[in-house]
Structure 1
Amino acid sequence: MKYRLLLLLVFTTTAYLSASAQSARTRTNIDFNWRFHLGDINNAQYPSFHDSHWERLDLPHDFSMEGKYDSSNSRANAFLPGGTCWYRKTIDWNKDWTGKLVFIQFDGVYMNSRLWINGHFLGERVNGYIGFRFNLTPYLKEGKNILAVRVDNSKIPSARWYTGSGIYRHVWLITTDKIHIAHNGTYVRTPETTEHAAGVLLTAVIDNASGSRVPVVVTSAIVNKEGKEVAESKLPVLLDTGLNNISDSFIVQHPSLWSPQHPDMYYVKTVIEAHHRIQDIYTTPFGIRQLTFSPVSGFKLNGKPVKFRGVCDHQSISPVGAAVPDDMIHYRLGMLKKMGCNAIRTSHNPRSPVFYNMCDTMGIMVMDEAFDGWDHTKAKYDYGLYWNKQLPGGQVEWKKDLTDFIKRDRNHPCVVIWSQGNEVWGYEKELNVQKEIYEVFHTLDSTRPVTQAWADKKYLDIAGFNANGEQRDDLEKFHQAHPDMPMIGTEMPHTRQTRGVYRTMAAFNPWDKPYPWTRSKDSAKKAAAHYPLENLSDHEIFTQYDPRYASGYDNQTLNISIREAYKQVQRDPFFMGEFRWT
């Protein structure tokens, strides 16, 4: 209900404007009525190609889920196939587009996508988790326009988990005037916040594609969740051609502070006027809250101590795979919220835009993770192969992806911590890479700390603990050695449970195999480092289950039980909380 309210509020904040003003910017979902062909095929990018025999479908779409399970397929991809495919979509010319700019925006395509409009190559995107858009304007014509998309996820495994394949997120058609707010072109922050007043800073990038300098008036108004205007500012600006940066500031009296208990949202409505005409209307949702991370007292939200009760969560949902309907995302978040979860780590990649919108309005904090690994592969054909790929203009793949990721998500109040990687083995030997990533985060967003899963040194703000924080005294010893470093459980505890499967005999392994330390020379020492697991009976009562499935009780784990792990969270004020795997 709160997510629907967000959509309603975004609409009602501009409802009083005239119809012509509202048409200055349009955003239309075009998920419906696509053509699809599984397999590669020649010349499918050209308008003359006949696709009437292709399958007709709606997006989002994960073609791997339509394949056959086979042991010859990669286990990482759930024994489902990858492949190459084509999508085509007919876009009818709209006379209202005359004199405007028309963009196509994809929220996510997995992976190696290449796009054409009317046979003209628009560009490509390797990363399957980052949204992207292209300008269609120069290539559109009256009548029928053919958009073609080639997707290549034929090299499997391309990750260590199920990725899905295809256009598995929403697609949008966006129109603007030639003077408009650039893509992801606003940045809102609240550096000084109390319950009495909040300072709000706005930076906006205006794209002037008119070909000449233009005087404009930029009006920005802050609107609360009831649609009431609480602050406003007008700036006269002389725009140069190309991109222009503007800055503004506001004071909001007696703000409603964002928190998981009260996820109150605000909206900055930015209106650009030139020549007595509205050129653009752009709404930026944001929240007013204060984040404090201390190596002594842990995490505080709006001045109050808060422990992260989080989970690590992959985006796919059986049986729809990666093409998860919005309602299912909302349902999953609602279940987690009811269970007492207040945070999610997006292991190990960016999520869809709708996920963050829902977390904003439902009150779920997010550790937003950009990458799994960096320039070395973890899976045979993963993103590490493309890390340093050179792009037009001299940029490299990882830096463009990271830049787009940060700019997309930095206005969301739910995002409280950035994660720059997960278990990047050997990162200590390439601190130059870590430093580059860290600096991009802090250049584009100065308001949030950066962590890294299973990393405790050099270029990060918060030490991240995975299994390296699950044995006796791990956390205390680190805190004593590094009293100035904040600490968080990025991936702990590692407990694995199967719904409906139970065992009364405890085990330090989900598959009932001997734990490695029980066979070592110093087994007694290593065993003493583990928290004990208690047997619930003298012998196993439930013998009917396949031993490969883990117990649903809290008595089968990698190092530490859920209860013992949370005792650590409650006991140590310097430890900010944990994100349970998985």
Structure 2
Amino acid sequence: MTTERTSLHRRQMLQATAAGGAALALVGGTPALAKAPAAAKGPTRDLPFDDDWRFFLGDTAQAQRPEFDDGGWRKLDLPHDWSIEDRPGAPQSTDPWVPPVALWNPGPHPKGAPVVSPEVPIVMASVPPLAPGGPPHKVGPFDVAESAFGWGTGWTVGGIGWYRKSFTLTDLVPGEQVEVRFDGAYMIAEAWINGVSLGRNVNGYLGFVFDLTPHLRAHLPNVLAVRVSNVGETARWYSGSGLYRHVWLSRTGTVRVPYSGVAITTPTVDAASATVLFGIELENRAGMPQTAEYRINIRDARDRVVASAAKSVLVTAKGGRIDAELDVARPALWSPGTPNLHRADITLTSDGRVTDRISQRFGIRTIGVSPRAGFQVNGKTYQLQGACVHHDHGMLGAVAIDRAERRKVGLLKANGFNAIRCAHNPPSPYFLDVCDELGMIVMDEAFDVWEKPKLMKDYYNNYFIDHWREDLANTIRRDRNHPSIAFWSIGNEIFEAVSPRGVELATQMRAVVREQDMSRFITQALTASYLGEKGKAARAQLDVTSYNYSFNAVEKDHATYPDLTFLTTETHSADAYDIWDHMQRNPAYMGEFLWTGVDYIGEVGVGSSRLRSNTAPPDNEKKIIFGMDVSLLNFYVWDYPAYLAGAGEIDVIGLKRPPSLYRDVVWGRNPLSLVVQRPVPAGFHEDQTAWGWPDLLESWTWPEGNSDPMSVHIYTSGDEVALLLNGREVGRKALAPIDKRKVQLEVPYQPGTLTAVSYTSGKEIARRTLETVGAPARLRLRAEREAVPGIATELVYVHAEVLDAKGRLVPDAAVPLTFLVDGRARLRAAGSANPYGIESFQDNRTRTFHGTALAILQPTGQRGEATVRVSSPGLADGVQLITLTR
């Protein structure tokens, strides 16, 4: 068994097949399933249904009909997001556009020539989006003219797409039930089987299930057709388009458990024993009462049965229910530090035949909140160091490939976060599987809007009144067995939250949540305008009071309402120290969720900084964003060709940004960090948003001849810091609490070494050194993993780095790269963290940003090796060998 866990659903499928599960014969089908037994021997849940689809971008008549000729359509496997793919007619291969204004040393650089100075700095003077010499209207997936919501969705384009899949079931037996489940489609999905309408789904983030049974043709090809519409202003961040999550097929008997029909809770837990309660809904599609026998086996992480129960139950034509209580002795408890998981194997038998099998993972644990102890798991208090995340994966778009989901959670965990807020929608099921496995605490959020809109005229608010009850219930039902989930959020910055109608809706939502789950805490992300008495009625419907950004109001509200517990569901990086300080003093303040953990596409520039002319008139324009006056927040958006938010403490290719270095110091994960401000040219000043951070770099490689001193920023947990330039002390400062663990010293630039030394009570605790490096000389490839399973749910992330002759990273190199991949993998995407890096992510060319770029490979499904090579004119190539296992 490998140390990396494969998809839970894929494991379940393999286990079912090994146990004699029903085979699925596909036209051009999945190779792994072709070896399954030819005769059905029992039910099989969650057979992967991602392979061998055909896709057409655009609308077309009669595509739902089985006889429709889709021979000219593109073949692809799911998950798929057409909004990240090159636009029709856009340059397929292009170097990221380089703005004509650079912060320093802006002299011309011939295309292809390696440079040390940054052609594409983070902060730069405003560039007219379509000025002469500026970017084309259409580059890769970006299209200014066709993007419905422009900066909000990062200049990407939605539209309409059709998917069709042909498959044959060779072994249908009488009474067999067949369902297809989509984990998500953005935005409105309509489905047909053999020309018969199955229905539609309007929530772009929730899964949906269709019963195929009445319409299937045995031993003949069946055609499943799906039309996905993402037309108009449907999102205010990058949503992606199409069938961007997995699709599954399930085959059961007539007595069965409906999708999400299993609820598992652990109300009584201690070291000696735990009580596990099961509430299992039953369906009966036979049309007459049936007697069924059930067996529940609870297995631990070593696959040992630790508790079991078996009994008969009468299932009427309207259905039935199993309520079972099992005791587990000496349970291995789930917690953030020890995320032990159990599995419940549930088997239904009727008339001597197995009619359904379900494997459901869960964790044995208790959770609690109180104003005196804060947030607790199994009686232990945890301060929540959380991050908000959107669901896209940068240059991959919104495709929910398992490895991309796991990597995102892993990056957050590795950078000290122990909690995630899914902003502002339910995530993929596999994302939550990973949170369970890695021990993250999760806030699962249902809605970004209720009835009132947020700028976008085609948003979910148009469907809310008719769909919210079902969508909220389905969210809870789908996710309620994940031990990582501690909080259900019913909304984010809801405009009507404190109005009588809003309180009425929140009261109804609370009832819907409690119908499905009694074991977690209900909250809602309230805005700063709902503090104090004004928000009292809205807070009354919540178990935990959550505010966006208003961390400094928690103490005041706690003094007025001492029985409340608090979270800040969005915070700024700049407030990391103040938030930490508040949490140490007030246990009722249980934690924060930073906006945001990982950078994302859309909401362009909200977390970035840029240059402004000193002679430009002040910007006194009142700014209304999402219905709020944000003038005092210095909120602005970048023009095209910027496409990233710039707010992530981890950048879009997975590397730490300076605010993450600061957070490490504040939370005690690192005693010292050293960064340098990029020089600001004469006549300009740096301007940044409330979510922004100065343009800092871990670099002591700068142009010589600049008479202005360099601004050196030091983050430290010590009480004193000294700065050495080429061994000579050039600055020293004692720190007081008012400094918030930050020191800024001015130093004339001189090539060599810059060293910061941190002290506590006169004793050195850490030192960090930056050194001047040479010109780019060669490239190095660094794979995050050099051996991976050769399956489509895996990805290989390979960083390309620009090195000097001594093998040191050139920290601001911007050089063109070409990737070549040979062997058992293909290049899935390539790009950098350049916020102005509009380009095709589908081709093999990009340009480094801060000396680094990223290539993402996807295995082709075969065992063997793949070789990655990266080249740039004038530099020695980099080569990386990847081993693909099975």
Determine if the alignment matches structure 1 residue 23 to structure 2 residue 42.
Answer: yes
Which of 372, 376, 379 is residue 452 of structure 2 equivalent to?
376
Matches within 5 A, 1:268-417: 268-378=344-454, 379-388=456-465, 396-417=466-487
| Aligned counterparts of 1:324 and 1:101: Cα–Cα separation in 2 | 27
1:130 Cα deviation (Å)? 0.5
**Match in the other structure for 1:476:** 555
- Quick one: which amino acid aligns to residue 460 of structure 1? L
Question: 1:522-578 deviations in whole A, cap 9, x for unaligned?
Answer: xxxx99xxxxxxxx99x9762269856742569xxxxxx99999x9xxxxxxxxxxx
- Quick one: which amino acid aligns to residue 568 of structure 2? G
Matches within 5 A, 1:169-318: 169-318=245-394
**Match in the other structure for 2:142:** 69
1:313 Cα deviation (Å)? 0.3
**Match in the other structure for 2:122:** none
Determine if the alignment matches structure 1 residue 424 to structure 2 residue 500.
Answer: no
Greater alpha carbon shift after TM alignment, 43-52 vs 8-17: 8-17
Alpha carbons of structure 1 residues 497 and 351: separation in structure 2 relative to 1, 3 Å: closer
- Quick one: which amino acid aligns to residue 567 of structure 2? I
Determine if the alignment matches structure 1 residue 153 to structure 2 residue 230.
Answer: yes
Secondary structure of the residue that 1:443 maps to in structure 2?
helix
Greater alpha carbon shift after TM alignment, 93-102 vs 131-140: 93-102
User: Does the 8 Å CA contact 1:45/1:118 hold for their aligned counterparts?
Assistant: yes
Determine if the alignment matches structure 1 residue 56 to structure 2 residue 56.
Answer: no
Alpha carbons of structure 1 residues 515 and 336: separation in structure 2 relative to 1, 3 Å: farther
1:511 Cα deviation (Å)? 5.0
Alpha carbons of structure 1 residues 426 and 278: separation in structure 2 relative to 1, 3 Å: closer
| Aligned counterparts of 1:331 and 1:497: Cα–Cα separation in 2 | 16
Greater alpha carbon shift after TM alignment, 158-167 vs 93-102: 93-102
1:509 Cα deviation (Å)? 8.7
| Aligned counterparts of 1:230 and 1:275: Cα–Cα separation in 2 | 28
TM-score, structure 1 as length reference = 0.84
1:324 Cα deviation (Å)? 3.4
Structure (1/2) with the larger helix percentage? 1
- Quick one: which amino acid aligns to residue 4 of structure 1? T
| Aligned counterparts of 1:499 and 1:35: Cα–Cα separation in 2 | 32
Which of 447, 450, 453 is residue 519 of structure 2 equivalent to?
447
- Quick one: which amino acid aligns to residue 559 of structure 2? Q
Secondary structure of the residue that 2:433 maps to in structure 1?
helix
| Aligned counterparts of 1:330 and 1:234: Cα–Cα separation in 2 | 36
1:100 Cα deviation (Å)? 0.6
1:140 Cα deviation (Å)? 0.9
1:79 Cα deviation (Å)? 0.2
| Aligned counterparts of 2:570 and 2:45: Cα–Cα separation in 1 | 41
| Aligned counterparts of 1:225 and 1:498: Cα–Cα separation in 2 | 30
**Match in the other structure for 2:571:** 492
User: Does the 8 Å CA contact 2:419/2:440 hold for their aligned counterparts?
Assistant: yes
1:158 Cα deviation (Å)? 1.0
1:494 Cα deviation (Å)? 5.1
User: Does the 8 Å CA contact 1:6/1:361 hold for their aligned counterparts?
Assistant: no
Alpha carbons of structure 1 residues 552 and 314: separation in structure 2 relative to 1, 3 Å: farther
User: Does the 8 Å CA contact 2:609/2:695 hold for their aligned counterparts?
Assistant: no
Alpha carbons of structure 1 residues 485 and 158: separation in structure 2 relative to 1, 3 Å: same
Alpha carbons of structure 1 residues 58 and 17: separation in structure 2 relative to 1, 3 Å: closer
**Match in the other structure for 2:221:** 144
Alpha carbons of structure 1 residues 139 and 497: separation in structure 2 relative to 1, 3 Å: closer
Which of 414, 432, 435 is residue 507 of structure 2 equivalent to?
435
| Aligned counterparts of 2:185 and 2:546: Cα–Cα separation in 1 | 30
- Quick one: which amino acid aligns to residue 6 of structure 2? R
User: Does the 8 Å CA contact 2:297/2:345 hold for their aligned counterparts?
Assistant: yes
| Aligned counterparts of 1:515 and 1:225: Cα–Cα separation in 2 | 59
Structure 1: unaligned runs, 5 residues or longer: 389-395, 501-507, 517-525, 528-535, 555-560, 568-582
1:78 Cα deviation (Å)? 1.0
Q: How many residues are treated as equivalent by the alignment?
A: 526
User: Does the 8 Å CA contact 1:365/1:415 hold for their aligned counterparts?
Assistant: yes
Matches within 5 A, 1:34-183: 34-66=53-85, 67=87, 68-72=141-145, 73=147, 74-142=150-218, 143-155=220-232, 157-183=233-259
- Quick one: which amino acid aligns to residue 433 of structure 1? L
Question: 1:369-405 deviations in whole A, cap 9, x for unaligned?
Answer: 01111111113321001111xxxxxxx3111111111
Question: 1:209-267 deviations in whole A, cap 9, x for unaligned?
Answer: 11211122111111111111111111221111132112000111111110121111111
Secondary structure of the residue that 1:183 maps to in structure 2?
coil
**Match in the other structure for 1:575:** none
1:64 Cα deviation (Å)? 1.0
1:355 Cα deviation (Å)? 0.5
- Quick one: which amino acid aligns to residue 362 of structure 2? F
1:181 Cα deviation (Å)? 1.3
* RMSD of aligned residue pairs (Cα, Å): 3.2
- Quick one: which amino acid aligns to residue 35 of structure 1? R
Secondary structure of the residue that 1:273 maps to in structure 2?
strand
| Aligned counterparts of 1:128 and 1:509: Cα–Cα separation in 2 | 28
- Quick one: which amino acid aligns to residue 363 of structure 2? G
User: Does the 8 Å CA contact 2:45/2:358 hold for their aligned counterparts?
Assistant: no
1:19 Cα deviation (Å)? 5.7
Secondary structure of the residue that 1:480 maps to in structure 2?
helix
TM-score, structure 2 as length reference = 0.56
**Match in the other structure for 1:551:** 694
Alpha carbons of structure 1 residues 22 and 184: separation in structure 2 relative to 1, 3 Å: farther
- Quick one: which amino acid aligns to residue 468 of structure 1? S
Question: 1:66-94 deviations in whole A, cap 9, x for unaligned?
Answer: 23412332211110111011111112132
User: Does the 8 Å CA contact 1:498/1:552 hold for their aligned counterparts?
Assistant: no
| Aligned counterparts of 1:497 and 1:341: Cα–Cα separation in 2 | 11
Alpha carbons of structure 1 residues 420 and 40: separation in structure 2 relative to 1, 3 Å: same
User: Does the 8 Å CA contact 1:3/1:357 hold for their aligned counterparts?
Assistant: no
| Aligned counterparts of 1:360 and 1:94: Cα–Cα separation in 2 | 37
**Match in the other structure for 1:467:** 549
User: Does the 8 Å CA contact 2:175/2:286 hold for their aligned counterparts?
Assistant: no
| Aligned counterparts of 1:211 and 1:426: Cα–Cα separation in 2 | 45
User: Does the 8 Å CA contact 1:497/1:552 hold for their aligned counterparts?
Assistant: no
Secondary structure of the residue that 2:410 maps to in structure 1?
helix
Question: 1:149-170 deviations in whole A, cap 9, x for unaligned?
Answer: 1111111x21211101100001
1:493 Cα deviation (Å)? 2.9
- Quick one: which amino acid aligns to residue 84 of structure 2? M
Determine if the alignment matches structure 1 residue 4 to structure 2 residue 81.
Answer: no
| Aligned counterparts of 2:327 and 2:248: Cα–Cα separation in 1 | 34
Alpha carbons of structure 1 residues 136 and 498: separation in structure 2 relative to 1, 3 Å: closer
Identity %: 34
Secondary structure of the residue that 2:512 maps to in structure 1?
helix
State which structure, 1 or 2, has the greater radius of gyration over its C-alpha atoms: 2
